[in-house]
């Protein structure tokens, strides 16, 4: 079986995150379902370089790289593509990702309350099972584990990137970026767990789009595709920002002056202790922007999601 055949059979996340109820009602307590989003599905995936890492087929095959432990599975391809979009992931995050993609239903299923009265099932693989899959991937040459800051990080190799059809180059671990990358991966996993219909566009895909257009807008940490919204300058996105440490007002002003041209609205995920300060700085920016009679899109500030079995500690 070729990688192209596997990719052709992959289940793609199309459509939008569909939110029920009043988004404002949940904003204070719900870090995921409070994301305001359109309620109409995409008629088809966007035919744009923005989603090229997910949609563009590759001519590569896996015949020579098939490991002795078996041919690549649909889950292998989907998980490697997910990891490639996030640059690298921690091993504990990988356990939740593989659990969510598991066709058999893992023994451990967390009941995660992502909002008052709202729960989602979060399957998780045991540490031993995660190590088994990592040995398979390592034997096949698809990943290279690397220790950094007391944690094990998983990076796709050239072979793993080709299998996933991503078109990205292998990434080199940068310790100063790991805390932020891990937090973004957890936020993405939380959103996709609570709203499986959500279509995530990664920072890496946005970086590629910006380079292709030779533009200089601020690169968000990710985005959710929004349907049936007319914007100029790029595919419409509900942009996602993960802010672990407070940004000064001047830095926030720079971000909003050069924001992604297809932005419809923005949600900031930040530690609880930073929320009020961030809201105050955003209010100052909004007032100044409206005083200049310039448009201001909706901006929401929510807490970082707390997923069972995954912490934010140990990555800095």
Q: What is the pLDDT of residues 124-138, one digit of tens each?
A: 888 898 999 999 999
Q: Is the pLDDT of residue 29 over 60?
A: no
- For residues 121 and 97, the model is more confident at 97
Q: For residues 142 and 120, what is the distance between their CA atoms, to the nearest angstrom?
A: 31
Q: Is the pLDDT of residue 57 over 60?
A: no
Give me Rg for the CA atoms of the chain. Answer: 19
Q: Is the pLDDT of residue 316 over 50?
A: no
What does the pLDDT average to over 185-211?
92
Q: What is the mean pLDDT of the chain?
A: 77
Please check whether residue 316 lies inside any domain of the structure.
no
How do residues 278-309 score in pLDDT, each as one tens digit?
Answer: 999 999 988 888 888 888 888 999 988 888 77
Backbone torsions φ then ψ of 107, nearest 5 degrees: -65, -35
Percent of the chain with pLDDT over 70: 76
Q: Please state the separation of Cα 288 from the chain's center in Å.
A: 31
Please check whether residue 39 lies inside any domain of the structure.
yes
Quote the pLDDT of residue 266: 93
Please check whether residue 308 lies inside any domain of the structure.
no
Tell me, yes or no, if the pTM score tops 0.85.
Answer: no
Please check whether residue 287 lies inside any domain of the structure.
yes
Please check whether residue 26 lies inside any domain of the structure.
yes
Please check whether residue 108 lies inside any domain of the structure.
yes
Q: Is the pLDDT of residue 10 over 70?
A: no
As to burial, measured by CB atoms within 10 angstroms (0-12 exposed, 13-18 middle, 19+ buried), residue 47 is exposed
Quote the pLDDT of residue 69: 53
Quote the pLDDT of residue 51: 30
What does the pLDDT average to over 166-174?
93
Quote the pLDDT of residue 195: 86
Q: Which domain holds residue 46?
A: 3-303
- Residues 88 and 148: beta-carbon distance below 8 Å: no
Q: Tokens representing 129?
A: 């099972």
Q: Is the pLDDT of residue 245 over 70?
A: yes
Q: For residues 175 and 177, what is the distance between their CA atoms, to the nearest angstrom?
A: 5
- For residues 178 and 235, the model is more confident at 178
How do residues 58-95 score in pLDDT, each as one tens digit?
Answer: 333 333 333 445 689 999 999 999 999 999 999 989 99
Give buried/exposed letters for 185-217 (b at 16+ CB in 10 A, else e). Answer: bbbbbbbbbbbeebbbbbbbbbebbbeeeeeeb
- Residues 239 and 223: beta-carbon distance below 8 Å: yes
Domain count, the chain: 1
Backbone torsions φ then ψ of 125, nearest 5 degrees: -90, 150
Please check whether residue 314 lies inside any domain of the structure.
no
- Residues 123 and 80: beta-carbon distance below 8 Å: no
Q: For residues 246 and 12, what is the distance between their CA atoms, to the nearest angstrom?
A: 35
Please check whether residue 311 lies inside any domain of the structure.
no
- Residues 301 and 268: beta-carbon distance below 8 Å: yes
């Amino acid at each position: 079986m070729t990688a192209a055949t596997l990719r052709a059979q992959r289940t793609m996340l199309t459509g939008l995150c569909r939110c029920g109820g009043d988004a404002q009602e949940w904003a204070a307590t719900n870090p995921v379902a409070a994301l305001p989003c359109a309620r109409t599905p995409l008629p088809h995936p966007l035919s744009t370089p923005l989603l090229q890492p997910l949609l563009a087929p590759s001519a590569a095959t896996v015949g020579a790289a098939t490991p002795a432990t078996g041919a690549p599975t649909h889950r292998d391809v989907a998980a490697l593509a997910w990891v490639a979009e996030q640059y690298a992931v921690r091993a504990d995050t990988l356990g939740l990702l593989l659990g969510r993609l598991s066709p058999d239903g893992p023994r451990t299923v967390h009941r995660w309350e992502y909002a008052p009265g709202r729960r989602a099932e979060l399957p998780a693989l045991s540490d031993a099972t995660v190590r088994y899959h990592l040995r398979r991937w390592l034997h096949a040459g698809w990943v290279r584990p690397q220790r950094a800051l007391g944690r094990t990080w998983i990076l796709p190799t050239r072979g793993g990137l080709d299998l996933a059809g991503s078109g990205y180059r292998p990434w080199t671990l940068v310790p100063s970026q790991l805390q932020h990358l891990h937090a973004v991966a957890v936020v993405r996993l939380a959103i996709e767990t609570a709203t499986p219909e959500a279509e995530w566009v990664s920072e890496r895909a946005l970086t590629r789009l910006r380079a292709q257009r030779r533009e200089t807008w601020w690169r968000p940490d990710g985005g959710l595709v929004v349907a049936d919204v007319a914007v100029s300058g790029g595919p419409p996105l509900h942009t996602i920002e993960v802010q672990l440490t407070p940004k000064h007002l001047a830095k926030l002003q720079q971000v909003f002056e050069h924001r992604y041209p297809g932005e419809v609205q923005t949600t900031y995920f930040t530690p609880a202790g930073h929320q009020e300060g961030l809201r105050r700085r955003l209010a100052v920016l909004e007032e100044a922007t409206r005083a200049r009679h310039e448009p201001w899109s909706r901006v929401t500030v929510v807490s970082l999601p707390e997923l069972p079995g995954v912490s934010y500690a140990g990555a800095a």
